[in-house]
Structure 1
Amino acid sequence: RDNISETKYSLFNPYLHVAEHKVIIVGLDNAGKTTILYQFLMNEVVHTSPTIGSNVEEIVVKNTHFLMWDIGGQESLRSSWNTYYSNTEFIILVVDSTDRERLSITKEELYRMLAHEDLRKATVLIFANKQDMKGCMTAGEISKYLTLSSIKDHPWHIQSCCALTGEGLCQGLEWMTSRIGVR
């Protein structure tokens, strides 16, 4: 057989197991979680409304399959985030870089997650979103405020991004891909 038919065959062969890596996308409401998910999926901005519950999509990066769960961030929903933690390999925490008032809540939620037994092996990617906005905090400022340097038991990375343009998102995914199999 030629390479093309063999590739097609393996793509549609139900007996070949593809490893999927579970990712939860969390953050406060209006941080840009859903916009980021659909930017990954379609490379375009989709009109979103507040997520009630979750959205789930498979994103494939260089033959790596991520099953991404975008979880609603409204205050009333945050207490149910832990129902999504089982088998999670990656946490993507999306931070609205313009929302200085609620950064302390983001910090609280981050450390609550990191203390959870089901996330003890999770790797953390923080997206400092909305970097295109005037007066936003830099990734460095956010890192310092969240005291990321104190996180010793989880690999983590902070990435500046703009969900609307997609800027910085690929770099974040590449970092996640580079972490697979490291721990």
Structure 2
Amino acid sequence: MSVVLHQSDCLPPLLSEHKVIIVGLDNAGKTTILYQFLMNEVVHTSPTIGSNVEEIVVKNTHFLMWDIGGQESLRSLWNTYYSNTEFIILVVDSIDRERLSITKEELYRMLAHEDLRKAAVLIFANKQDMKGCMTAAEISKYLTLSSIKDHPWHIQSCCALTGEGLCQGLEWMTSRTGVR
């Protein structure tokens, strides 16, 4: 008996790919988080105009991460990135109390968008190393995250500069892949 192998039989299985958008107001730490994921080091950044896209692989799970600029003039364009998005990473500047209401408005605008109806939401409460920062619990309460019933969500304290808390956020996302 002979066995015929096709080239595709010898290739490793394809990694599952999941689209992620990283959003938040300008200066929240989105790009710093992206490059911590990618290189495990701090990269000096300037405001993102448009987007950065990188592939991050965690335990055979392939995340295509789109880091989208957060300046006011760019936020109206976020919806052009929503198609096929499985995960939203919302980065919150934990010391920027004055603009938390804007973050809340943007979050609920995204969650109401048809293209994001199945997206899970990871909120990074960034800059936890700063004196006087809001805790993840305070941010959760202010954003009324407990009222979000139609999207799985998780809030994670983090510090983009040290990487603290970022792995826990990625682990939550990885645990959500394949859950529908």
TM-score higher than 0.5 here?
Answer: yes
CA distance in 2, matches of 1:180, 1:118: 18
CA distance in 2, matches of 1:182, 1:53: 30
CA distance in 2, matches of 1:81, 1:26: 8
Q: Deviations over 1:106-159 (max 9, x none)?
A: 000000000000000000000000000000000000000000000000000000
CA distance in 1, matches of 2:57, 2:95: 30
Match of 1:28 in 2: 25
Q: Deviations over 1:48-106 (max 9, x none)?
A: 00000000000000110000000000000000000000000000000000000000000
Per the alignment, in what secondary structure is the counterpart of residue 149 of structure 2? Answer: coil
CA distance in 2, matches of 1:179, 1:64: 11
Residue-pair matches, total: 166
Q: Give the RMSD, CA atoms, in angstroms.
A: 0.4
Cα distance, 1:19 vs structure 2? 2.1
Q: Is the 8 A contact 2:84 2:115 kept in 1?
A: yes
Match of 1:109 in 2: 106
Q: Is the 8 A contact 2:16 2:60 kept in 1?
A: no
Cα distance, 1:36 vs structure 2? 0.0
CA distance in 1, matches of 2:60, 2:36: 18
Q: Is the 8 A contact 2:20 2:85 kept in 1?
A: yes
Match of 1:83 in 2: 80
TM-score normalised by L of structure 1:
0.90
TM-score normalised by L of structure 2:
0.92
Cα distance, 1:175 vs structure 2? 0.3
> Post-superposition, which runs of at least 4 consecutive aligned residues in structure 1 deviate over 3 A?
none
CA distance in 2, matches of 1:53, 1:161: 24
CA distance in 1, matches of 2:152, 2:34: 22
Identity %: 96
CA distance in 1, matches of 2:170, 2:35: 14
CA distance in 2, matches of 1:172, 1:43: 14
Q: Is the 8 A contact 2:50 2:68 kept in 1?
A: yes
CA distance in 1, matches of 2:174, 2:108: 23
Match of 1:162 in 2: 159
Match of 1:56 in 2: 53
Cα distance, 1:182 vs structure 2? 1.2
Per the alignment, in what secondary structure is the counterpart of residue 89 of structure 1? Answer: strand
What pairs with 1:1-183 in structure 2 (closer than 5 Å)?
Answer: 18-183=15-180
Cα distance, 1:176 vs structure 2? 0.3
CA distance in 2, matches of 1:64, 1:46: 24
